[in-house]
């Protein structure tokens, strides 16, 4: 694996200047392009996989296919991928360097001032984000980002945004749900749907990105990350409604966010366009959206097994009745009879009134 540090030159062209981000999937460096004077790039180093030589060769071929696909993308809200290569067992992506704060930093700055972000401002970003996501999903095959979150959305001049960090981008092949990803990660937990927890062994589609968009908008309008999908799976109503944290959030926006964050993909909007219609359009919104899963799951389980539950209840009732009847039949009959030498005892009445005070014998 190539040792990376400032002033290292990669491919006789990219001189590393500063480490700007690092995670489980790799590291991103700001670098100078020595061929094009004044051009600043972002160079992402993808951590190499362990495994056999054949496995590494297959993954490297996959990386080159996916990097070539990324280089063909062209959208104003996406940084342009300009180069990709391998150096000493490490794969590298080169793309436009996007300067400016990310939306997580923007949220934190607002909170430090005792404020929440303006909802209309957030909806403006959401419109751009969903346009970029719709563009990715419209590719053939669809391209999944798989790590949409506030920290991966940069704010540039004029309130424009760019969705960065393509380390987890995945070309979705419906015939092969285990298509490998460039960086083979699972995203960031507060913004990651349950189906993505399995990494490359799980099946994800475009609705996984829509969950992440919903979770990102939740963070932006409330000032805090949402509960993870895992916590929501285990705890009923774990997720606090956005309007309880920020009363300025319109009910339509709240419903759209929570619908996008449904734990089951089938309950989410099917496309980025459908989510946009829920947010700002005229699409009907759900009145009872999902906050957790336990209550919903129990209700669904009861409904699905209503016949069995009724049968079990009937058997329990019959068992109770039969037990009661058997107990009653085996109990000895209590028939009181007076024998010759017995003395019947009757309740003693306590005299009241004037007669009770009269002397005995008078």
Query: Would the CA dihedral through 161, 162, 164, 169 be positive or negative?
Result: positive
> What would you report as the CA-atom Rg of the chain, rounded to the nearest whole angstrom?
34
Q: State how far the Cα of 291 lies from the Cα of 304, in Å rounded to an integer.
A: 21
pLDDT number for residue 68 = 86
Residue keyed to tokens 């393509």: 166
CATH topology of domain 99-301: Transferase(Phosphotransferase); domain 1 (1.10.510)
Q: Which of 149, 271, 120, 155 is nearest to 216 (CA)?
A: 149
pLDDT number for residue 179 = 36
Whether residue 50 contacts residue 95, with contact meaning beta carbons closer than 8 Å, is answered with: no
The pLDDT tens digits along the chain (362 residues) read 678 999 999 999 999 999 998 876 678 999 999 999 999 999 999 877 666 677 777 777 878 888 888 899 999 999 999 999 988 888 999 999 999 999 999 999 999 999 999 999 999 999 999 999 999 999 988 999 988 999 999 999 889 999 997 654 555 544 443 333 433 445 578 999 999 876 555 578 999 999 999 999 999 999 999 999 999 999 878 999 999 999 999 999 999 999 999 999 999 999 999 999 999 877 766 655 666 544 444 445 445 556 656 766 776 677 777 777 767 766 665 555 444 444 444 444 444 444 444 444 43
- Phi, psi (5° rounding) for residue 190? -65, -15
Quick check: helix, strand or coil at residue 230? Answer: helix
pLDDT number for residue 314 = 73
Q: Which CATH superfamily is domain 10-97 in?
A: Phosphorylase Kinase; domain 1 (3.30.200.20)
CATH 3.30.200.20 region(s) of the chain? 10-97
pLDDT number for residue 166 = 63
CATH 1.10.510.10 region(s) of the chain? 99-301
**DSSP secondary structure of 217-228:** HHHHHHSSPPPP
Whether residue 147 contacts residue 167, with contact meaning beta carbons closer than 8 Å, is answered with: yes
Whether residue 257 contacts residue 239, with contact meaning beta carbons closer than 8 Å, is answered with: no
CB count within 10 Å of CB 300 equals: 12
């Amino acid at each position: 694996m190539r040792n990376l540090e400032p002033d290292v030159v990669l491919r006789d062209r990219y001189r590393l200047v500063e480490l700007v981000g690092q995670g489980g999937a790799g590291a991103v460096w700001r670098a100078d392009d020595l061929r094009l004077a004044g051009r600043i790039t972002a160079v992402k180093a993808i951590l190499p996989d362990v495994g056999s030589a054949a496995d590494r060769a297959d993954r490297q071929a996959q990386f080159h296919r996916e990097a070539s696909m990324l280089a063909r993308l062209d959208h104003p809200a996406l940084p342009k991928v300009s180069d990709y290569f391998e150096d000493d067992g490490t794969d590298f992506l080169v793309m436009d360097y996007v300067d400016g704060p990310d939306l997580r930093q923007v949220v934190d700055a607002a909170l430090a001032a005792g404020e929440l972000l303006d909802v209309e401002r957030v909806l403006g970003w959401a419109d751009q984000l969903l346009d970029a996501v719709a563009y990715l999903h419209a590719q053939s095959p669809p391209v999944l980002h798989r790590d949409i979150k506030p920290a991966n959305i940069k704010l540039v001049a004029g309130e424009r945004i760019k969705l960065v960090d393509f380390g987890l981008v995945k070309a979705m092949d419906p015939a092969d749900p285990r298509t490998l990803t460039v960086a083979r990660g699972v995203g960031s937990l507060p913004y990651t749907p349950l189906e993505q927890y399995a990494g490359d062994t799980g099946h994800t589609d475009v609705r996984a990105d829509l969950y992440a968009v919903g979770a990102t908008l939740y963070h932006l309008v409330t000032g805090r990350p949402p509960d993870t999908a895992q916590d929501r799976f285990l705890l009923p109503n774990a997720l606090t409604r956005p309007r309880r944290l920020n009363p300025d959030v319109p009910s339509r926006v709240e419903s759209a966010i929570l619908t996008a964050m449904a734990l089951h993909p089938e309950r989410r909007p099917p496309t980025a366009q459908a989510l946009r219609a829920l947010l700002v359009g005229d699409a009907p919104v759900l009145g009872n959206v999902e906050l957790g899963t336990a209550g919903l799951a129990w209700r669904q389980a009861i409904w699905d097994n209503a016949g069995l539950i009724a049968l079990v209840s009937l058997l329990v009732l019959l068992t109770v009745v039969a037990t009661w009847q058997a107990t009653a039949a085996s109990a000895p009959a209590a028939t009181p009879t007076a024998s010759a030498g017995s003395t019947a005892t009757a309740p003693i009445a306590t005299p009241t009134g004037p007669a009770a005070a009269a002397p005995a014998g008078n």
